[in-house]
Amino acid sequence: MSTVENPFDKVRRKMVAARIEFMGQLAKFSNEELTRNPNPVGEDEWTPLQLAYHLYIADGLALEAMKKIQDEDNPLVEDLGEETPRRTREAEPPNSLDAVLAGMAARREELFQYLSELPGDAWERPLRHPTFGQIKFYQVVNVLPAHEKMHAQQLADIKATAEAK
């Protein structure tokens, strides 16, 4: 008889691996490089520190959406792929790497605490998404590690471009 893995344990591993990958890329930047615009001509590019802050914002918005999905029947949730960048652009620039890292850790702990307390059937709750249509809760949760991995690659690309100059 095989045992079914707890959905939280499964996603936690993915989220931890993605965070480690992001932090490993972030650690390659000096203090000066953390706040340097990778493309001084382009305004749409974020500094490495802003990317870290962006993940902090994304975790907070995702947690709000997750709670809505669990509290309402088949809710329409906003497209965080649009809202998170908007809030990142509108936010005051982060004060320091230490402040951003502390916020990221606290927010991720809050997410893990919430997800760890959900019963198995909660992961199957339906929701409506403006882009993807009818989807399930676990699909929303699995966006977080994919999103973080994408930004880890972005950091690697920023570093590679800076070193090539």
> Please, what are the domains in the chain?
7-164 (1.20.120.450)
pLDDT digits (tens, 9 = 90+) for 85-105: 999 989 887 889 999 999 999
Asked if 18 and 148 count as a contact pair (C-beta separation under 8 A), the reply is yes
pTM: 0.93
- Tell me the mean pLDDT in the region 147-151: 97
More confident residue, 93 or 117: 117
Contact 118, 67 (CB under 8 A): no
User: Which tokens is 5 given?
Assistant: 């893995």
Q: Which residues contact 66 (CB under 8 A, 6 or more apart)?
A: 111, 114, 115, 137, 140, 141
Spatial CB neighbours of 22, under 8 Å, sequence gap ≥ 6: 52, 55, 148, 149, 151, 152, 155
Where does the pLDDT of residue 165 fall: very low under 50, low under 70, confident under 90, or very high at 90 and above? Answer: confident
pLDDT reading at 56 higher than 90: yes
